[in-house]
Copies of this chain bind each other. A is one copy, B any other.
């Protein structure tokens, strides 16, 4: 059917067209069906219906379709019904718990990357993945398909080191220490990371305080070859782009299907050519991994998948029920990390975790003997090599390498939350802490966040400051303070938690 084009200059993130219901009926297509759009070029697009927006005899082409057809305007295009895509049948197979073939998984991932699957199909795919999970074979193919549908970085020399932290623990700024420690010891570590979606600051949000983080894959490669390490945003590199597109679906459903979690992590590591990887699995209440058993299972699955992909994986189950260090939010976290690099001054939790993870990598990379990795990492911090390496990384990414921790300013609007009574801090709610930092403006406002004066198990006096909320904007500070007061992230009690009746009777 020849239809006149009506351009709709709206980006919808998919190939979509709008037909008047009259023409749609004549063509025999239903809402959600695909049509073939033929001009000089041709493509398949998803159909929306309208009764009035587009007149009969016309077809509305959204931005992406116009762009693909490479014309601003064309008099008419030919529209014909297209059959139900094979990908929809594959999704149904997954729903029915039937095993998918490698070819079917590539078909799906291609459909995800080229935006040809509708939100309805993508959501069904993620939901079925969540409920039915995938076999080891399928998960391997999923990972390979994610790697193959994006850009890949290949280094001439090996090993290539990498690390990843499973999210959920606030203030987990360890990459800012691990990467320079590892690179300072002569290993390559092209660290890509994410921006926070639900957190108070991803590694990219943090690093951006010091230098630009958006680079192409080939820039990541050449920078890494020059200085040994980088700290860049994965989203700019076009490595494993399927993952970013799936996050769009996972986020509103607040699900993270097991097979997708595995594939997402390993695809990013595989895409940068990493072959020696440490994965930090924060475990405990308030994190994604509720207990050690679950953490061990995830570790085994990651190690197994790594083996299939030719990567050596080691996992570290870490304590996740309390923040790492004493800061949450980009500028505050960067200041804390820089201070450790400058002088090894800083919270034990941060230094211990960073040197442990870095030490594992040093041993895996063959630059520290078994059992000595952590000590080498500490030495690298102490002798200033890690600081120098961090300055090189900041410099090559286009930041100011003369920066010191004193230069990093947190938001000027502050409010102290104080202890209502003498006692011990017995509970620290990770999720609430992140929510408060986000209300204060993190991660978008770099200066927003929370400074932690007292941590779990520490004693406080009445009216002593426990947390300081920082914000760049007064109205955001107010909103964060209000939220913290209504539902406190901390709980303080006397050392004697409970007086059991039998105690008296003894």
CB distance from A276 to the nearest CB of B (A): 33
B residues within 8 A CB of A413? none
CB distance from A285 to the nearest CB of B (A): 19
Checking B25, B127, B444 against A127 with a beta-carbon cut-off of 8 angstroms, the contacting residue is B127
A130 part of interface (Cβ distance < 8 Å): yes
How far does the alpha carbon of A121 sit from the alpha carbon of B252 in the complex, in Å?
8
How far does the alpha carbon of A119 sit from the alpha carbon of B32 in the complex, in Å?
11
Choose, from A70-78, A88-96, A221-229, A416-424, the stretch at the interface: A88-96
Contact A131 B95 (CB under 8 A): yes
Number of interface residues of A (CB under 8 A): 47
B residues within 8 A CB of A53? 9-11
Name the CB-closest residue of B to A22.
B444
A254 part of interface (Cβ distance < 8 Å): yes
How far does the alpha carbon of A264 sit from the alpha carbon of B76 in the complex, in Å?
41
| Interface residue ranges of A425-458 to B (CB < 8 Å) | 438-439, 441, 444
Name the CB-closest residue of B to A253.
B124
How far does the alpha carbon of A130 sit from the alpha carbon of B124 in the complex, in Å?
10
Contact of A119 with B123 at beta-carbon distance under 8 Å, contacts A28-B438, A84-B254 already known:
yes
Contact A25 B444 (CB under 8 A): yes
How far does the alpha carbon of A486 sit from the alpha carbon of B486 in the complex, in Å?
70
Contact A444 B28 (CB under 8 A): yes
How far does the alpha carbon of A118 sit from the alpha carbon of B118 in the complex, in Å?
13
Contact A253 B127 (CB under 8 A): no
Contact B255 A95 (CB under 8 A): yes
Contact A95 B252 (CB under 8 A): no
- Residue of A25, A130, A253, A255 with most chain B CB atoms under a 10 A cut-off: A253
Contact B130 A249 (CB under 8 A): no
Contact of A124 with B121 at beta-carbon distance under 8 Å, contacts A53-B11, A91-B253 already known:
no
Checking B50, B124, B130, B252 against A88 with a beta-carbon cut-off of 8 angstroms, the contacting residue is B252
Contact B123 A120 (CB under 8 A): yes
Name the CB-closest residue of B to A444.
B25
Name the CB-closest residue of B to A85.
B252
B residues within 8 A CB of A497? none
A41 part of interface (Cβ distance < 8 Å): no
Name the CB-closest residue of B to A125.
B127
B residues within 8 A CB of A39? none
| Interface residue ranges of A224-253 to B (CB < 8 Å) | 248-249, 251-253
Contact of A31 with B248 at beta-carbon distance under 8 Å, contacts A131-B128, A444-B26 already known:
yes
B residues within 8 A CB of A9? 53
A79 part of interface (Cβ distance < 8 Å): no
CB distance from A446 to the nearest CB of B (A): 12
Contact of A197 with B30 at beta-carbon distance under 8 Å, contacts A120-B252, A126-B124 already known:
yes
Q: List 6 A-B contacts (CB under 8 A).
A: A11-B53, A28-B439, A28-B441, A95-B130, A95-B255, A127-B127
Given A84-B252, A123-B123: 6 more A-B contacts, CB < 8 Å: A28-B441, A30-B197, A32-B248, A119-B123, A122-B123, A131-B132
